[in-house]
Amino acid sequence: MLELYTHPMSPCAQKVRIVLAEKGLRWTKHHVDLAQKENLHPDYLQLNPLGVVPTLVHEGKAVIESSIICEYLEDRWPGPSLRPEDPYAIAQMRFWMKQVDNKLHPSCGALQWPLVMRPGLMKKSQTERQALLDQIPEKPRRERQKRLTEFGLEAPDVVDAVHVYRKTILEMENALKEHHWVVADSFSLADICLAPYFQTIMQFGWTDIYEDCPRVADWFERCRKRASYEQSVAADFPADVRADLLEKGKPAWSLIQGHLEKFPSPM
Ligand SMILES: N[C@@H](CCC(=O)N[C@@H](CS)C(=O)NCC(=O)O)C(=O)O
């Protein structure tokens, strides 16, 4: 009944997998090989014209965009609820989700792409690489991926990405002074949509980015301890994959630290 087109390292797909697990829903997995650009295959574009994961298929109909999929699942299977009751808290929840989609997600891509996707692309000829990247349907994403492929961590997007991460962390530290979870005392879609972006930080060994934000560190530990997270995110990172990612992330830390120095500490 429920099918998900997904990739283990995609934070957007991780969000949706956490929601499915929180609600105890059964689903069928379709792995989309992003390194091989299966997301740009004409059959996949029929389902998701933006050429990205995740895509949920329910009763034969495709639902795209991770935050929309999360809300769709919440609407269809309201229990256990992942939306606070108070309308103001719901507005706050949606604001966090929007910030994640518009800002944190491209920032995560800017840090992850040079380390994970770029090496494979650089093995292809210039013409082959260009032809693949030219197929990306949306111009801003296409241009960003071209910059990140050409310049790696030296791309201008990387400085902004580090700042977006740091600003988000400081805002979360403040929000968590007010309640146990990001928008309320109950766990919500805001927490689910943020947590995978901390998985990325952790997997590359960059957790010092929030070392002076104890509430954020504690929040992420609480997210990770949930069965939903274990089952739908942690399970996809066996020891050899974790070791490889840590190795890939190590050389980038000093560059990130350099960008962080220009940023304020929490109040
Ligand atoms: N706004 C989309 C973003 C989806 C997205 O960027 N997915 C990435 C993986 S996290 C992807 O499929 N990238 C493939 C590519 O850009 O080639 C959503 O939230 O679903």
Is the pTM above the cut of 0.85?
yes
Nearest ligand 1 atom, CA 67: 19
Question: Does 55 contact ligand 1 (Cβ within 6 A)?
Answer: no
Average pLDDT over residues 27-47: 95
Q: 221 exposed, middle or buried (CB, 10 Å; 0-12, 13-18, 19+)?
A: exposed
pLDDT of residue 214: 98
Does residue 17 register a pLDDT over 60?
A: yes
Average pLDDT over residues 228-253: 95
Nearest ligand 1 atom, CA 10: 10
**Pair 67, 103: CB distance under 8 Å:** no
Question: Does 34 contact ligand 1 (Cβ within 6 A)?
Answer: yes
Buried b or exposed e, range 79-96, using 16+ CB within 10 angstroms: eeebbbeeeebbebbbeb
Q: Assign 36 a pLDDT band (cuts: 50, 70, 90).
A: confident
SS3 5: strand
Nearest residue (CA) to ligand 1, atom 10: 10
Nearest ligand 1 atom, CA 12: 10
Helices in the chain by DSSP H: which ranges? 11-22, 42-47, 66-76, 87-99, 105-116, 118-122, 126-134, 139-151, 157-178, 189-203, 214-225, 227-232, 239-249, 253-260
Distance 41 CA to ligand 1 centre (A): 14
- Give the β-pairing of 55-58 and 61-64: antiparallel
Domains of the chain: residue spans and CATH: 2-76 (3.40.30.10), 87-260 (1.20.1050.10)
Nearest ligand 1 atom, CA 11: 10
pLDDT of residue 263: 76
Question: Does 52 contact ligand 1 (Cβ within 6 A)?
Answer: yes
What is the chain's mean pLDDT, rounded?
95
Query: How far out from the chain centre does Cα 168 lie?
Result: 14
Q: 106 exposed, middle or buried (CB, 10 Å; 0-12, 13-18, 19+)?
A: middle
Average pLDDT over residues 11-20: 98
**Pair 2, 29: CB distance under 8 Å:** no
Higher-pLDDT residue of 126 and 267 is: 126
Nearest residue (CA) to ligand 1, atom 9: 10
Comparing CA positions, the residue from 183, 245, 232 lying closest to residue 15 is 232
Question: Does 38 contact ligand 1 (Cβ within 6 A)?
Answer: no
Q: Assign 35 a pLDDT band (cuts: 50, 70, 90).
A: confident
Between 71-80, 84-93, 153-162, 254-263, the lowest mean confidence (pLDDT) is in 254-263
Pocket test for ligand 1, best of 18, 47, 53, 101 (most atoms within 8 A of CB): 53
pLDDT of residue 267: 54
**Pair 19, 78: CB distance under 8 Å:** no
Neighbouring-strand partners of residue 28: 3
pLDDT digits (tens, 9 = 90+) for 69-125: 999 999 999 999 999 999 999 999 999 999 999 999 999 999 999 999 999 999 999
Does residue 52 register a pLDDT over 60?
A: yes
d(CA 267, CA 241): 37
Percent of the chain with pLDDT over 90: 94
Q: Assign 261 a pLDDT band (cuts: 50, 70, 90).
A: confident
**Pair 206, 184: CB distance under 8 Å:** no
d(CA 40, CA 152): 22
Average pLDDT over residues 9-31: 97
**Pair 154, 111: CB distance under 8 Å:** no
